[in-house]
Chain A
């Protein structure tokens, strides 16, 4: 039990910090609320969809910015998409970078865009590892026979 409580506390602390640091926002809480008996793996499922999607988008973005003649409309479309999906799962910092990215696209600022893309990649990998840690914690708790604390 000690192990479980410890893990649970870790889980709670970690989650709280994620919110504090802006990695996650309320939308993520919404996702957790959506998870229920009929969809026990909902959050994990959605998050992995997000990961897949994001990686594609990031690749597309990198390609688009490497073109001889950059099609900003296309770049913007990708960013827009990324913004949509990141906001849907509550990846707040990623979403914010996307917003900034869109402005750069409008301004057709290539350097700015490239830098922004780097930032986007960074934020994305951060939130990705955070979420993976979170899921790992969950698994550990469950494995130790405990229940995952609800943050809602």
Chain B
């Protein structure tokens, strides 16, 4: 398939490796850019870290590796490093003129894949691809390790159905977890998709709500840093549960948390993340309502959920009333179980995943809710919709929902969206039971869009407004095709979606190629088109999508997740940075420096990075109860 999710491992690898360079020193930036070009990489430069983050968020899956300077005025390089690792899980290579061992050590501690000392030579850059490959392979290995949950193969519909019969969260959660993992891996390596389903079949452990809560409280008790499977197992004291079960669940949980924190940062607060999506959905409009109806009609939503959802939705502002007209078809479609429903609406699934108090006892499953959950009308869509649209790391459903939400959010693009949806509908070959679940991750991407992409071939160096000044996006090397495929991986990485070939930006009808993520679309459309944020054509939609999401992100006030404390410094990825301890952070920073005995210079804005050291990186605020309570509102 042309739209192979895994672009990096393409024929000409490492040619075409997509690199994002962040450095406030324009001289260095220019030199690096030139060097990277000579390595045949696709370079995007950015002189501001904040702009870089926005870029990465908006175009998830559009980059393979990030090169960042350590010392930058608007954001410490290490912070950027952490954020990228959390939100996008991309390899980050640090650069600095500071070659002291302590500095390099710091880079390693923060999770940098590599640390280059300036002045950087071209030869050093030639090899950065190894970090991309290494990371992918490690993730793939991780994927393979999740034996107990491997049964939740997306391909196995039977099991999916069975799980549905449980409470909405149980099986779905399982599925989602697996799918999520799958997606993560798939995003990197498409081959894994099919491989894992067959391998490592162990007696499946169903992580029920109760079980998961036990798990979470055990983790909290131990502290996320110290939460090792063995100890968790002991604390949980569940007969029949193996350490391996716990280990794989823990892995997933960690990934989930990472997504969370990433989302939280964008959305300004995760625990309320369930609120987040709601808000977003609100903006998206009434889509949810219809979805709920549809779902209810299909008998998937328990009455209380439905009520909750409706209450939620009805009270929301009109995001995109334009979609109202879609009710009928949606409802009918859902009744008929037609797959096209989701497509048409594009927002079907995002919305329904509103609060479902009854079902939102587990935060984990909630977050992980994907298509399956949508089906049951349960599941709160983890906020990320906009912020992390197309985040590859997101569950497939998430991706889809993001797309959905987006659709809702862009009323002005109704037509093009609908158009796309129509086309998608036709091109979708979803399985019956999944009809409603099918969520084009990127509704925005219609098969038609591939055409538009094609037209967007004229790469141009565009200074993307949506990204803001200081960020020069060089699309010179972007090509619609490659972008699509690569982006697909990034954005969708949803086996589910893929299989249903919902978003086949590149392929023809019924093709099950990885959907093209809106990222690529944006890139392409931006590059080739008039990236004006709002344009009536498909590419325009994507473009607007991009910009919109970006804008929305900005608009979402940063709420303190608690889980992700201020400064969004997550040392061990789960650290909770208490908001009220700025001084401690500072002190920590200094202490760190002094401890080194090297009189490490405290660069500005280094303190928060030091949180890693001192803050108690335990998910203190992150407890099952907390999140649960959010839903019980």
Contacts and interface: CB of A to CB of B under 8 A. Distances in A.
Interface of A: 27, 30-31, 33-34, 36, 39, 42, 45-46, 49-50, 52-53, 73-74, 76-77, 80-81, 83-85, 87-90, 102, 105-106
B122 A80 contact: no
Contact of A80 (B38, B97, B121): B97
Given A42-B34, A49-B30, A77-B71, A84 B603 contact: no
A122 B563 CA distance: 51
Nearest to A51: B27
Nearest to A27: B119
Contacts of B210: none
A52 to B, nearest CB: 8
**Of residues B25, B26, B38, B71, which shows the largest number of chain A Cβ atoms within 10 Å of its Cβ?**
B25
A49 B601 contact: no
Contacts of A81: 24-25, 71
B168 interface: no
A118 B98 CA distance: 23
B118 A34 contact: no
Contacts of B26: 49, 52-53
Contact of B599 (A80, A84, A106): A106
A52 B29 CA distance: 14
Given A34-B34, A76-B601, 5 more contacts: A33-B122, A53-B26, A80-B97, A88-B31, A102-B601
A101 to B, nearest CB: 12
Contacts of A85: 25, 27-28
A31 B27 CA distance: 11
A2 B26 CA distance: 40
A102 B71 CA distance: 14
Contact of A46 (B27, B98, B118): B27
B601 A84 contact: no
Interface in B25-49: 25-28, 30-31, 34-35, 38
B602 interface: yes
Nearest to A49: B27
Interface string B599-619: 101111000000000000000
Contacts of B30: 45-46, 49
B71 A88 contact: no
B27 A73 contact: no
B96 interface: yes
Contacts of B604: 73-74, 77
A39 B38 CA distance: 11
A31 B31 contact: yes
Interface of B: 24-28, 30-31, 34-35, 38, 69, 71, 73, 96-98, 118-122, 599, 601-604
Which secondary structure characterizes the binding site on chain A? helix
Contacts of B599: 106
B122 A34 contact: yes
A60 to B, nearest CB: 11
Contacts of B35: 34
B121 to A, nearest CB: 6
Contacts of A45: 30
B28 A34 contact: no
A52 B26 CA distance: 10
B34 A105 contact: no
A89 B34 CA distance: 13
Contacts of B121: 27, 30
**Of residues A52, A84, A105, which shows the largest number of chain B Cβ atoms within 10 Å of its Cβ?**
A84
A76 to B, nearest CB: 5
Contacts of A30: 119, 121-122
A84 B118 contact: yes
B603 A88 contact: no
B97 A87 contact: yes
Pick the 7 closest A-B CB pairs, nearest first. Answer: A84-B97, A85-B27, A87-B119, A50-B27, A27-B119, A49-B27, A88-B28
B71 to A, nearest CB: 6
A76 B28 CA distance: 18
Contacts of B31: 31, 34, 46, 88-89
Nearest to B29: A49
Contacts of A27: 119, 121
Contacts of B122: 30, 33-34
Nearest to A103: B599
A89 B120 CA distance: 10
A106 B119 contact: no
B603 A73 contact: yes
Nearest to B38: A34
B262 to A, nearest CB: 28
A139 to B, nearest CB: 21
B27 A83 contact: no
Contact of A39 (B25, B27, B34): B34
Given A30-B122, A45-B30, A105-B601, A83 B71 contact: no
A80 B34 contact: no
A88 B34 CA distance: 12
19 contacts: A27-B121, A34-B31, A46-B34, A49-B27, A49-B30, A73-B603, A76-B603, A77-B71, A77-B603, A77-B604, A80-B98, A80-B601, A81-B25, A84-B96, A88-B31, A89-B27, A90-B119, A106-B599, A106-B601
A83 to B, nearest CB: 5
Contact of B27 (A34, A88, A102): A88
Nearest to B603: A77
Contacts of B73: 77
A42 B120 CA distance: 17
Contact of B25 (A73, A88, A105): A88
A37 to B, nearest CB: 12
Contacts of B98: 80
A47 B579 CA distance: 44
